[in-house]
Chain A
Amino acid sequence: MMLQVSDLTIARGGIPVLEGVRFTLTQGQALVVRGPNGIGKTTLLRTIAGLQPPISGQIDVPPESLVYAGHADGIKATLTVAENLSFWAQVFGKKDYSQAIEAFKLGSLSTRPAGALSAGQKRRLGLARLLVTGRAIWVLDEPTVSLDTEAVAMFAHAVRAHLATGGMALMATHIDLGLNEAQMLDVGAFKAKPLSNSDFDGAFL
């Protein structure tokens, strides 16, 4: 199982932001995407997750193997922590979410409505969702936003455990996670040259 991206050109709002992006991710590997604001990290991850089509290039990913976590956690404020996790577990055809609760130390919060959590606790819940999906490839956009150092360590531990079981992780982040084995990809090198855009969407933008 591997994730292979070759010659990928992606656009945001109809304007190409990155071109010629290529990398390969194999089992047990993590790749950290770096680059300045606005370079297209989020767009790259959303394209790989299948939320938007690329302009050109190939994304080879085994079907039903990828889970995406964006800036928003997708948490329902009126459901409890346990209900939120159990919902996502069921959506991905799983039942057990106790391991996720344990990994992100949510046990004491599990009966609390998610709306009553702090920003960092919400993020921990959002990251715990990754564990209940049972998917091999994690695509994470700024996973450590609003986490304290202890929670970042929790997250790094979860990623390492995931890699150890043959999983893969692709993430965009600015801070050092302490994952020394992770490879770096600076997407600044793939910045697209400005060009006139004449595709179908262009007429509506």
Chain B
Amino acid sequence: MIALLLRDIRLAMRAGGGFGLGLSFFLIVVVLVPFGVGPQSALLTVIAPGVLWLGALLACLLSLDRILALDWEDGSLDLLATSPVPMEGIVSVKALAHWLTTGLPLVAAAPVLGLLLNLSEAGYKWLIISLFLGTPALSVIGTFGAALTVGLKRGGLLLSLLVLPLYVPTLIFGAEVARRGAEGFDVTTPLLMLAGITCGTIALLPFASAAVLRVNLR
């Protein structure tokens, strides 16, 4: 399983691997928002947490169809399915590799982009914490969506439609943590909800992903 993780990370780093895809999309969205909103730093401060969370979520969504589709196309998925690695392990490792190559860079880039949106000083800590807690759920839910659409050619649209509603709770509570943190309120409740959603998806969804993948490989 470690070999699979290392291979996925190595593939993401190599040419055409899509490592910078999510990150550059995040950068573009967040840089363009101040141009669209205009030079109103007070307004930017208010919308910064929401925009940063939305940007991170869409950047994550952009790279989802790569998680399993590439392995399906070149036949690796069939071979992995008949290897000693259990299917649940394969999808968990795939989600982890996706988080390490997409989610984690977004978490690291968020503070820099927060500066562009005039995020209040107290907000940085909670923005990073909320993204760090929330993005793993985005990767795990995304892997489930990728498993559902793996056999379909050009399944990107269907994947987005399937996954977006599942992303809503994470977005609501994640953005709420960042907003409350930025405004100096107590964040305990949304933070616990966010952590709960992430733990729940990590615990349950790999089994669902593995089950639908088995059906899709038939």
* Chain A residues within 8 Å of B, Cβ to Cβ: 46, 49-53, 64, 66-79, 83, 87-88, 90-93, 129, 133
Contact, CB under 8 Å: A79 / B10: yes
Q: Which residues of chain B come closer than 8 Å to A129, judged between CB atoms?
A: 79
Q: Contacts A78-B14, A78-B16: A93 and B84 contacting too (C-beta < 8 A)?
A: yes
A53–B215 CA distance with the chains assembled, in angstroms: 10
Contact, CB under 8 Å: B78 / A79: no
* Chain B residues within 8 Å of A, Cβ to Cβ: 2-4, 7, 10-11, 14-17, 73-76, 78-85, 217-218
Choice from A53, A70, A91 contacting B78 with Cβ under 8 Å = A70
Choice from B2, B75, B85 contacting A71 with Cβ under 8 Å = B75
Q: Which residues of chain A come closer than 8 Å to B2, judged between CB atoms?
A: 90
Q: Which residues of chain B come closer than 8 Å to A91, judged between CB atoms?
A: 3-4, 80, 83-85
Contact, CB under 8 Å: B10 / A90: no
B12 shortest CB reach to chain A, Å: 10
Interface of chain A, helix or strand or loop or mixed?
A: loop
Task: List 8 A–B pairs whose Cβ atoms lie within 8 Å, in order of A's numbering.
Answer: A46-B78, A51-B218, A71-B75, A74-B78, A75-B76, A87-B4, A91-B4, A91-B84
Q: Contacts A51-B81, A92-B84: A72 and B74 contacting too (C-beta < 8 A)?
A: yes
Q: Determine the residue in chain B with the shortest Cβ distance to A47.
A: B218
A133–B81 CA distance with the chains assembled, in angstroms: 14
Q: Which residues of chain A come closer than 8 Å to B7, judged between CB atoms?
A: 76, 79, 83, 87
A66–B16 CA distance with the chains assembled, in angstroms: 33
Q: Determine the residue in chain B with the shortest Cβ distance to A114.
A: B74
A115–B84 CA distance with the chains assembled, in angstroms: 26
Contact, CB under 8 Å: B4 / A78: no
Interface of chain B, helix or strand or loop or mixed?
A: helix
Contact, CB under 8 Å: A70 / B79: yes
Choice from A52, A72, A92, A93 contacting B217 with Cβ under 8 Å = A52
Q: Determine the residue in chain A with the shortest Cβ distance to B13.
A: A78
Q: Determine the residue in chain A with the shortest Cβ distance to B85.
A: A91
A99–B54 CA distance with the chains assembled, in angstroms: 51
Choice from B3, B14, B76, B218 contacting A74 with Cβ under 8 Å = B76
A51–B14 CA distance with the chains assembled, in angstroms: 30
Choice from A53, A74, A77, A78 contacting B79 with Cβ under 8 Å = A74
Choice from A49, A70, A133 contacting B75 with Cβ under 8 Å = A70
Q: Which residues of chain A come closer than 8 Å to B73, judged between CB atoms?
A: 72
B154 shortest CB reach to chain A, Å: 19
A134 shortest CB reach to chain B, Å: 10
Q: Contacts A70-B78, A91-B80: A78 and B218 contacting too (C-beta < 8 A)?
A: no
Q: Which residues of chain B come closer than 8 Å to A78, judged between CB atoms?
A: 11, 14-17
A201 shortest CB reach to chain B, Å: 9
A79–B217 CA distance with the chains assembled, in angstroms: 24
The 10 A-B pairs with the shortest beta carbon distances in the complex, nearest first, are A72-B75, A90-B3, A74-B76, A78-B14, A52-B218, A74-B79, A68-B82, A74-B75, A87-B7, A91-B83
Q: Determine the residue in chain B with the shortest Cβ distance to A53.
A: B218
Q: Assuming A51-B218, A68-B82, A87-B3, what are 20 further A-B pairs, CB within 8 angstroms?
A: A46-B78, A51-B217, A52-B217, A67-B82, A68-B78, A70-B75, A70-B79, A71-B75, A72-B76, A74-B74, A74-B78, A74-B80, A75-B74, A77-B74, A78-B11, A79-B7, A87-B4, A90-B3, A91-B4, A93-B84
A181 shortest CB reach to chain B, Å: 26
B77 shortest CB reach to chain A, Å: 8
Q: Which residues of chain B come closer than 8 Å to A93, judged between CB atoms?
A: 84
